[in-house]
Amino acid sequence: MEVYLDNSATTKAYDEVAKMVSDIMCNHYGNPSSLHTMGVDAENIIKEAKQNIAKIWKVSEKEVFFTSGGTESDNLALRGAAFANKRAGRHIISSKIEHPAIINTCKYLEEEGFNITYLSVNSYGEIDLEELKNSLRDDTILVSIMHVNNEIGTIEPIEKIGEIVKFFNPKILFHVDDVQGFGKVSLNLKKAEVDLCSISSHKIHGPKGVGVLYIKNGTKINPIVFGGEQQGNIRSGTENVHGIAGIGLASKLIYNDLQEKQNKMFNLSLKLIKAIKSIPDTNIFGNIGEADFNNSIYEDGAYGFAPHIISAGFKDIRAEVLLHSLEEFGIYVSSGSACASNHPHVSSVLSSINAKREYLEATIRFSLSEFTTEEEIDYTISKLNEIVPRLRKYKAR
């Protein structure tokens, strides 16, 4: 039996998306910048994808820009905004538990003379809103906070953050990395006063190598890729037409019956969490304290954690050992973020939430999708109950 529980690393593409991508690569392969019919055809494909995403975000099509993925979208948002607005100030605020695409871009900007404040988080992974208020300065030009944490699934209070930032100074840009939230947890960009928002195709059953950056109309931002001035000179390079079509369709499909999909993942997650908690010397990270284990309805905003991510620590078992032990039974999970490194490392997220030392290298992430079944979760639970005691017994020898 194959059980894929690493959907926060990447997802299986929708069948409809795979068919569309193949058809476009083989039959609609014109360059969208070309003036002939095949070029116009390709351009129309891009327009339709923009329409799909703009409709979900409730924004203008002109505010939707395509990139090579979430990492490039994050880089364009931070680097582009920082250099475009450096005359107004060089102070940027982010958090200690951001994705490496944000953390490492901030480190680069520090080397370029920008001052970065990294907000701390509590044991659940939530930023301190008072610390945010106290960190805002007259020279602050950008705040970047993720919506859903990619390792522990904690949901940050994006609307409250946007309110605080814009109340202090409406000119401060607010960027949200929504790679793990898009299609899983709703976010109203306008209500949260978001200026920039990043998403990634392969997290929502679309093709790899495609991302989107929402850039609110009027936002001052510099390009970081130079070339033929495509996409209004914001992101040069011949557009990845088949990939763009893929994320456009995947976005549309993932938001169909979203509540039903949330409920399914939520209940399967609760079942797995309950089973893991019954195993001695385990710990679940993230803001699950308010979870009603008898509830079948997932309400956006009612819970502080996403319905699809579970971070579980197993004392006295190294994460990679448990990961490969599960793999032997066809169960695929990850240790921390798949984007951080291919090598074992101590999670900066777990360190930032002050996880106990015995869990720092003993935590794995289960991440579900709309395709995860109860049979798969039951199978995973049975194998955990079999493997964990055996590995602990082996270590005790």
Cα 179 to Cα 7, 9, 39, 101: the distances in Å are: 12, 11, 30, 11
The whole-angstrom separation of Cα 365 and Cα 151 is 7
Residue pair 236/32 in contact (Cβ under 8 Å)? The answer is no
Residue with tokens 């609760």: 270
Residue type, position 396, single letter: A
Find the catalytic residue in 26, 106, 197, 339.
Answer: 339
Active site residue 339: yes
Residue pair 49/186 in contact (Cβ under 8 Å)? The answer is no
Q: Which residues contact 236 (CB under 8 A, 6 or more apart)?
A: 223, 225, 226, 227, 228, 229, 230
Q: Exposed/middle/buried for 1, CB within 10 Å: 0-12, 13-18, 19+?
A: exposed
The whole-angstrom separation of Cα 264 and Cα 368 is 10
Cross-strand pairs, 309: 367
Residue pair 281/315 in contact (Cβ under 8 Å)? The answer is yes
Structure letter (DSSP) for residue 203: G
Element (H, E) at 117: strand 115-119
The whole-angstrom separation of Cα 248 and Cα 236 is 19
Residue pair 363/335 in contact (Cβ under 8 Å)? The answer is yes
Residue with tokens 């900066």: 348
Residue 248, both tokens:
């456009």
Positions marked active-site: 339
